[in-house]
Chain A
């Protein structure tokens, strides 16, 4: 079987995979990173979003082999070593932006990329449009939108430090 070498949450792994293995399957089944979820089989729901080289990607749309040499961050890699939450995680908690928690990892990873790629600010409309690829069945999105808006200044203030 072919090998893939990639860095996930700061740790390098070399793993043998079948050619058809998806990146999400590699993360969940080979590396035990079950925080990344599978909610559909048509790349519509966004529960599996991770960052590949800093960009949000639905990890069900990539073969594991395509991630060879890549640096990947999953939901497990966001908080600091001492457990301090990333501002986006903190704002999701503060604004009750999650209920069952299943879409949450993908939603948070998408939201971070959305905020990082819009340093000048995000309108409510832009946030809603930016969540186009992520489904949530619990919250009605209301509090997710609020959480992302609240995280924006925190993340950019932190980046400016």
Chain B
């Protein structure tokens, strides 16, 4: 057994289970007497429901019950709640129209649930769903952001004028306008951030169970945060108190944000299980995932930077339209505001910033956080704008970044958009990335590619993000309807082994390994004597779950705090057993020692005494060695770094080949380097997907045109290059581990690096900017349009 504490690339505890087919995913769970639910979904984007005839479906073989929206409404089942309230610039609250669990009156997007058929088998439920007769009156629909805000546009919700959910600002417009009026130059860029479909490989599943003897409900679900689902569904939708509702999210096959939210199907199966007094299971087909999982991104922005004659950034002015979809998903309103506009300083000392965000309802699937959530949108905008400034001023794009960086000695650094960065060193991550990518050798590689008839380009992105969300009081003042602390329970068993109960949730991140390494480090317990339990509200005291790269920075910090309590109590027990004063007890390497003596007791001696308290300070101290801590973070954490992409375009086809990708990230303290590298690689692949391949499409009628893997291009092995991934870390200054988070950096830093490389490759074609995804067809058209002009010149 080698070193298995902080800093070791320990192989993962969970892998043998997953590699042997012994994972326990939600769809692998079945309950006795289980029924199957099939959701009938709207096949059109916007329509009035005149009548639903359930007679034929109800009479079909195997059908137990058909429910429509009115059945839930009649029992006082409210709509799905939104977890974050944003205020308009005039101080009024955002528009928050109802989000029925099953549609009543109208459907508002393709995929909106209209009815649920419950039968003794999935096949029978499917057959019966085909027999539902739904009489609709079609209404005009609007799917496109810019169309939705045009005067006279179709209104998605009655009473929400102009489809505006909120009109929000940050910064002082008059001050910023003043800077622009006197600036040497203003560089302007219009850009979109393409709409994405998260597509975790495991489709969503929900299984509701009802114990007829106790009246207890259990929901098995594909969730990143089971306690949050219990709170939202129990308190706000179904009115089931926490003591009667268990939510269990077992092995979850990827989330990327899409499994944070409380979804209709969770409420439907739980409620139906109670009504029918039998378990009810719903398993999404992938085509349902496309039209019912929350989508990501979908911004249209105009960005302007005021600069002086040397290229120093003087002020940034931005207007953004952000698509909310047809209803507000759980955290949707926070994404284009506090996770986006507050990041617009990036790594630069831009002194003044103004941003106006209008969130817009459309007849599309709700949009919410997807890996990076707001920060990829901010980074893409900023890093594209910086490249366009370089293009227009002729200043070298690396030099332009360098001269505008926040210097390493300026921390803590207060940005003009609310955040205070605690640490970072952008010159170093840039320097190492340039070296690792052999930036200086690029022109030779470009020339060599040209001989082969290929257009080679290189692109850079120097980025920053905020994660480890978040101080509860701060987010509360910004409209969050929850606290964002994390919880850990450390149970030292009588014989000295340890079980960790964490409120975070692992759906690929490897917490069973990484969190165990924290115990090895702090308590000195061997790795194989540590188990990590997550995902079950029946076992874990509480928790806010995993998203926003928060598990280690917040959840790990809660563990440190709980282990501090274990050690403090252990010292009291040790002092009693060794007849010393508590102040003289030291703890190190699993052992309590009386300072300056050879008297010592192992943690196992202490835990045994704690559970078998025969010789024990029983008057002052409770038996047992089991401590819980809630940790509320003091600030966000601020990972950052530099990504460099190198591409080759075939001018005959327009197809982009990713030939090199280099990432140098600052993620704070690394617990398991192997896992960190894997997180970055996966994030970068999603960023490359956004930049080159992925794009959710809706036609003018609001029909989803990318409704399967046949139409929505997912990155495959051949689309992704070998990557050079490294870290250059500065420590987070305000949490006990120094960790910042690594789950999202890849997806945040990479898209602008890729597009900057594509634009660089096309520099001879007069390309200043192009929108993602840079597909072969798009680039071929650009090359074709430019070629005659180039020939004529």
Stretch at the interface among A61-69, A130-138, A151-159: A130-138
Q: Is A143's CB under 8 angstroms from B681's CB?
A: yes
Min CB distance, B480 to chain A, in Å?
27
Given A93-B11, A138-B682, check contact A41 B19 (CB 8 Å). Answer: no
- Known contacts: A96-B678, A99-B682, A142-B722. The answer to whether A36 contacts B202 by CB under 8 A is no
With known contacts A93-B19, A102-B254, A143-B681, A131–B717 Cβ distance under 8 A: yes
From B681, which residue of chain A is reached at the shortest CB distance? A140
Distance in angstroms from B509 CB to nearest chain A CB is: 7
Q: How far is the CA of A107 from the CA of B503 in the complex (A)?
A: 30
- Whether B215 is near chain A, meaning CB under 8 Å from some CB there, is no
Flag if B709 contacts A101 (CB, 8 Å): no
Q: Is the Cβ of B123 less than 8 Å from the Cβ of A18?
A: yes
Question: In this assembly, does A129 line the interface, its C-beta being within 8 Å of a C-beta of chain B?
Answer: yes
For window 99-124 of A, CB contacts with B under 8 Å fall at 99-105, 108, 124
Chain A residues within an 8 Å CB radius of B199:
137
Are A141 and B710 in contact, CB atoms less than 8 angstroms apart? no
- Is the beta-carbon distance between A37 and B25 smaller than 8 angstroms? yes
In A47-101, which residues have CB < 8 Å from any B CB?
A: 47, 74-76, 78-79, 85, 89, 92-94, 96, 98-101
Number of interface residues of B (CB under 8 A): 56
Q: Could you tell me if B21 and A102 are in contact, using CB atoms closer than 8 angstroms?
A: no
Min C-beta distance of A104 to chain B, whole Å = 5
Of A74, A124, A138, the contact of B254 (CB 8 Å cutoff): A138
CB distance from A67 to the nearest CB of B (A): 18
Please state if B254 and A93 are interface contacts (CB–CB under 8 Å): no
Contacting residues, chain A, for B22 (C-beta < 8 A): 35, 76
Q: How far is the CB of B751 from chain A (nearest CB, A)?
A: 14
Docked Cα-Cα span, A41 to B513, in Å, equals 33
User: CB of B510 within 8 A of chain A?
Assistant: yes
Contact among A93, A137, A139 with B15 in the assembled complex (CB-CB below 8 Å): A93
Please tell me if the beta carbons of B254 and A42 are within 8 angstroms of each other in the complex: no
Asked whether A44 is an interface residue with its Cβ less than 8 Å from the other chain, the reply is yes
Contact with B along A15-52 (1 / 0, CB 8 A): 00010100000000000011111111110110100000
B11 vs chain A, min Cβ distance (A): 6
Tell me if A143 and B709 are in contact (CB < 8 A).
no
Q: In the complex, how many angstroms separate the beta carbon of B208 from the nearest chain A beta carbon?
A: 19
CB-CB < 8 A to B254: which residues of A? 99-100, 102, 137-138
Decide if A100 touches B714 in the complex (CB within 8 Å).
no
Q: Mark B499-537, 1 if CB is under 8 A from A, else 0.
A: 000000001111000000000000000000000000000
A2-B686 Cα distance, complex, nearest whole Å:
44
Does A103 contact B201, Cβ atoms closer than 8 Å? yes
| Partner pick for B21 among A44, A45, A105, CB 8 A cutoff | A105
B708 interface residue per 8 A CB criterion: yes
A34 to B720, CA, bound (A): 30
Q: How distant is B123 from chain A, measured CB to nearest CB, in Å?
A: 7
What is the minimal beta-carbon distance from A44 to any residue of chain B, in angstroms? 4
**B437 → A minimal CB distance (Å):** 16
CB-CB under 8 A from A132, the residues of chain B are: 716-718
| Interface pair A135/B722, CB less than 8 Å apart | no
Residues of A contacting B683 in the complex (Cβ-Cβ under 8 angstroms): 140
Contacts of B54 in A (CB 8 A): none
What distance in Å separates the Cβ of A77 from its nearest Cβ neighbour in chain B?
9
B674 at the interface (CB under 8 A from A): yes
Residues of A within 8 A of B20 (CB): 35, 75-76, 78-79, 85, 89
Determine the chain B residues whose CB is within 8 A of the CB of A128 once the complex forms. 717-718
The reply to whether the CB of B251 lies closer than 8 angstroms to some CB of chain A is yes
- Residue of chain B at shortest CB distance from A144: B717
Task: Find the A residue at minimum CB distance from B18.
Answer: A101
The answer to whether B15 touches A100, judged by C-beta atoms less than 8 angstroms apart, is no
Q: Which residues from A are CB-within-8-Å of B508?
A: 99-101, 138
Given the interface contacts A40-B709, A76-B21, A85-B19, does A142 sit within 8 Å of B681 by beta carbon? yes
Contact present for A101 and B685 (CB under 8 Å) = no
A129→B718 contact, CB < 8 A? yes
| B674 partner, pick from A37, A38, A96, A105, beta carbons under 8 A | A96
Q: Can you name the residue of chain A whose Cβ is closest to the Cβ of B203?
A: A39
Cβ of B16 under 8 Å from chain A: yes
Residue of A nearest to B15 (CB): A93
For chain B, residues 711 to 732, give those with C-beta under 8 angstroms from any C-beta of chain A. 714-718, 720, 722-723
Q: Which residues of A contact B200 (CB under 8 A)?
A: 100, 102, 137
Whether the Cβ atoms of B675 and A96 lie closer than 8 Å is yes
Q: Which of A45, A93, A100 contacts B252, CB < 8 Å?
A: A100
Q: Tell whether A102 pairs with B202 under 8 Å between CB atoms, given A74-B21, A129-B718.
A: yes
> In whole angstroms, how far apart are the Cα atoms of A89 and B17 in the complex?
11
User: Quick one: CB contact mask for B307-339 with A, threshold 8 Å, 1 for yes?
Assistant: 000000000000000000000000000000000
Q: How far is the CB of B584 from chain A (nearest CB, A)?
A: 44
Closest to A106 in B: B201
The answer to whether the Cβ of A150 comes within 8 Å of any Cβ in the partner chain is no
Known contacts A75-B21, A102-B253; is-contact A39 B720 (Cβ 8 Å): no
**Interface status of B630 (Cβ within 8 A of chain A):** no
- Assess whether B684 is in contact with A99, with CB atoms less than 8 Å apart: no
* B209 contacts partner chain A, Cβ-Cβ < 8 Å: no
A100-B19 in contact given A47-B201, A138-B508, A142-B720 (Cβ < 8 Å):
no
Bitwise, B1-17 to A at CB < 8 A (1) or not (0) is 00000000001101111
**CB closest residue in chain A, given B509:** A99
Interface string of B681-718 (1 = CB under 8 A from A): 11111100000000000000000000011100011111
Decide yes or no whether B23 CB sits under 8 A from chain A.
yes
Query: Is B90 among interface residues, defined by CB-CB distance under 8 A?
Result: no
Q: A18-B123, A38-B27 are in contact. Are A137 and B201 (CB under 8 A)?
A: yes
Residues from chain A with a CB closer than 8 A to the CB of B251 are 100-101
Docked complex Cα distance between A74 and B22 (Å): 12
- Give the CA-CA distance A89 to B23 in the complex, in Å: 14
Contact B723 A35, beta carbon cutoff 8 Å = no
Measured CB to CB, the nearest residue on chain A to B28 is A34
Report if A127 contacts B (CB, 8 A). Answer: yes
Complex interface: chain B residues within 8 A of A36 (CB): 21
Q: Which residue of B lies closest to A34 (CB)?
A: B28
State whether the Cβ of B182 lies closer than 8 Å to any Cβ in chain A.
no
| CB-CB nearest in chain B for A104 | B18
**Max chain B C-beta neighbours (<10 A), residue from A93, A101, A103:** A101
Look across to chain B and name the residue whose beta carbon is closest to the beta carbon of A100.
B508
Interface residue B285 (Cβ < 8 Å from any Cβ of A)? yes
Closest residue on chain A to residue B20 by CB atoms: A79
Checking A37, A102, A140 against B682 with a beta-carbon cut-off of 8 angstroms, the contacting residue is A140
Residue A145 CB within 8 A of the other chain? yes
Residue of B nearest to A76 (CB): B21
**In whole angstroms, what is the CA distance A34 to B253 when docked?**
14
Cβ–Cβ contact A85 & B717, under 8 A: no
Cα–Cα, bound, A36→B19 (Å): 11
Q: Give B199's nearest chain A residue, CB to CB.
A: A137
What is the chain A residue whose CB lies nearest that of B19? A89
Interface contact B716-A135, CB-CB below 8 Å: yes
Interfacial chain B residues near A78, Cβ < 8 Å? 20
Complex CA distance for A132 and B719, rounded to whole angstroms:
10
Which B residues lie within 8 Å of A142 (CB)? 681, 685, 720, 722-723
* A-to-B contact residues, CB < 8 Å: 18, 20, 33-42, 44-45, 47, 74-76, 78-79, 85, 89, 92-94, 96, 98-105, 108, 124, 127-129, 131-132, 134-145
Between A and B, 16 residue pairs with Cβ closer than 8 Å are: A35-B21, A78-B20, A85-B16, A92-B15, A96-B678, A99-B254, A100-B254, A101-B14, A104-B18, A131-B718, A137-B199, A137-B686, A139-B682, A141-B685, A142-B685, A144-B717
Excluding A85-B19, A96-B11, A138-B682, 12 further A-B contacts by CB distance (< 8 Å) are A40-B708, A40-B709, A44-B710, A101-B17, A101-B19, A128-B718, A136-B201, A137-B254, A138-B201, A139-B681, A140-B684, A142-B720
**5 closest cross-chain pairs (CB), A and B:** A35-B21, A102-B253, A101-B18, A140-B685, A100-B508
